[in-house]
Amino acid sequence: MPQSVLTGPLARPLPMPTWNNFNKKIYNAALQSLEHTKLERPESLTIRFSRAADLEKIVDLYSGQRKTIIDPHNFVRPRRFEELAEPVRSGAAALAIDENGNIRASALASVYRDGNGGKKNITEIGAVMCDVGGVGLSKIVLAMLALKQTFDPRAGERVFAKVARDNAASNKVFASSLGWDQVNCPHESSTLYDVAYRSNRGQGKRDRLWYHFSGAAREKASGILQSCVDQEALKSKDGSIIALNIEGSSLWSTLHFSSMLSLS
Ligand SMILES: CC(C)(COP(=O)(O)OP(=O)(O)OC[C@H]1O[C@@H](n2cnc3c(N)ncnc32)[C@H](O)[C@@H]1OP(=O)(O)O)[C@@H](O)C(=O)NCCC(=O)NCCS
C-alpha cells in the first residue's frame, strides 16, 4: 500500500502561517467579498433631495461596507447617524436612487455660520460619492444641490467645495465638468477659512483645493439640469443609456426656481 506523504518518513509539517501571509489571506478574502457586494449598473435613476425615510440607507452609505467599496482611499470622512439625521431630514443631501431603491450617488450641503450676523455664512458642498462611473452622475447631483443652496439668502453667493489635491477624479468634476472657480485670492481664502474652520475650533486641513460656485458655474449647472430634463436619460461614452425618472426627481423644480430667482 502506498504510504501517504503526510505520514511517511518524508512527511513535513505544513508551513506555519506567518503574520504576513495570514494578513494577506484575510485581505484577499475581504476584497473578494467586496467584489460580490458591488451593485449592478442601474437601469433607471431618480435624482432628488433627501427626506427622513432615507436616513438608514444614507447612514449605511457613509459608514458601512459600501463606503469602503466606493471610497477605498477614504477621501470622504465617514459620518454617523447623529451627524446625518437633521441634514437628511431637511433635504441637505442630494441623492441618485436606482430602480431597486439603492442610493447610487450622494452629496451633502453644510452651512457654516460666521457667528457675526450671517453676512459671511458659507455653504460647503461635499461628501460626494458615486458608484455609477462614466455617465457624469456626480456632476448632476452636485449641480442640483449647489443650485438649491443659492436659494439661501445668506449663503447663496458663497457656495464652495473643498477637494484633496490628490483626488484626480473629484478635482476633474469640480474644475472641468462643473466649471467651478478655484479659490486663489489670499484675502478670499482667509475669510473662507475663518468661517469654514471656525466651527471646528480652527482645526482642519488647509492644504485642500477650494472651489467656488461662481456665476458662470451656475449657468453651467442650469444647463446640466436642463439637458437631463430634456433627454430624460444619461448616456455613457460606450452608448449605453440609463433612464431618468424626471417626475420623481427634483431636477426640474430646482431648475425652475433657480431661473425664477435669477430674474429678480
Ligand atoms: C469622485 C466621484 C464622486 C466621481 O464620480 P463620477 O461622477 O461617477 O465620475 P466619472 O466616472 O463620471 O468621472 C468624472 C471625470 O473624472 C475622470 N476620472 C475618473 N477617475 C479619474 C482618475 N483617477 N484620474 C483622472 N480622472 C479621472 C473621468 O474620466 C471623468 O472625466 P470625463 O467626464 O472627462 O470623462 C467618484 O469617483 C467617487 O465616489 N469617488 C470616491 C469618493 C470621493 O473621492 N469623493 C470626493 C470627495 S471631495
53: phi then psi, degrees, rounded to nearest 5: -65, -15
Compute the average pLDDT of residues 165-190.
Answer: 92
Instruction: Supply the pLDDT for residue 183.
Output: 93
Residue of 103, 170, 176 best suited for mutating to test ligand 1, as the one with most atoms within 8 Å of CB: 170
Instruction: Tell me which range, 19-33, 104-118, 136-150, is most confidently predicted by mean pLDDT.
Output: 136-150
Instruction: Supply the pLDDT for residue 36.
Output: 56
Instruction: Supply the pLDDT for residue 234.
Output: 98
What ligand 1 atom has the least distance to the C-alpha of 129? 39
In this structure, which residue's CA is closest to atom 18 in ligand 1?
169
- The per-residue pLDDT for range 209-249, each reduced to its tens digit, is 999 999 999 999 999 999 999 999 999 988 999 999 999 99
Q: 23 CA to middle of ligand 1, Å?
A: 30
Residues pairing with 124 in the sheet: 110, 160
Instruction: Supply the pLDDT for residue 5.
Output: 41
Q: 174 CA to middle of ligand 1, Å?
A: 10
**What are the start-end ranges of the H helices in the chain?**
19-37, 55-63, 65-70, 81-89, 137-149, 168-172, 186-198, 215-231, 251-261
Residues 6+ apart with CB under 8 A from 12: none
CA-closest candidate to residue 232, choices 245, 241, 222: 245
Ordered by where they begin, the domains of the chain are 42-255 (3.40.630.30)
In this structure, which residue's CA is closest to atom 9 in ligand 1?
133
User: Which amino acid is present at 59?
Assistant: V
Structural contact between residues 197 and 226, judged by C-beta atoms closer than 8 angstroms: no
Instruction: Supply the pLDDT for residue 153.
Output: 86
What ligand 1 atom has the least distance to the C-alpha of 130? 39
Q: 99 CA to middle of ligand 1, Å?
A: 23
Compute the average pLDDT of residues 83-106.
Answer: 98
Residue 181 DSSP SS3: strand
Compute the average pLDDT of residues 86-92.
Answer: 98
Q: What is the DSSP string of 93-162?
A: EEEEEETTS-EEEEEEEEEE--SSTTTT-EEEEEEEEE--TTTTHHHHHHHHHHHHHTTSTTTTT-EEEE
